[in-house]
Amino acid sequence: MKRICFTADEPNGLNSVLSYHFGHCPYYVIVDVDGNVVKNVRSIPNPGAEWHDPGDLPAFMKKEGIDVIITGGMGPKAQQYFADFGIEAVTGAYGRVKDVLEEYLHSKVNYKATEAVEPEEHKEKENDEIERLKKEAAALREQLADLKSMLKRVEEKLK
């Protein structure tokens, strides 16, 4: 049995949208899996969403029996704490928890366990994340524009 924790923007279990920041996300979705079979799912509030000392949340995760934490991003100190607790930290994830879980379980993504990085490397990783998010936002704007055009064509046909 493996216990996987996901950062989440909402408390909707597997249907929750993954949060991009580990420490300040409002919720965690904890999923127990046996092989590739989901055995249990629960959503809990992040006890440190508003404020926490460094290491508080990794210690909380250790107490909860978490084996893997999956999130969009995480600072180097948190990564080091997780490594010290023997918890695999995976960053770069996005989407709905159920989709990220499926991808993770079937190794269909390029998410990787992160190793603690030095502060200088963290700045570079932050810049990479900013660039990734800019590209993702541009792609979403393009999809919205396409949908708006399609909707306009459908409305014209209905007239």
Residues 144 and 131: their CA atoms lie apart, in Å, by: 20
Mind listing the pLDDT tens digit for each residue in 85-141? Answer: 999 999 888 889 999 999 899 886 555 554 444 455 556 666 777 777 777 776 676
Residues 106 and 97: their CA atoms lie apart, in Å, by: 14
Which pTM does this prediction carry?
0.70
Residues 26 and 125: their CA atoms lie apart, in Å, by: 23
- The number of CA neighbours under 13 Å toward the Cβ of 103 is 16
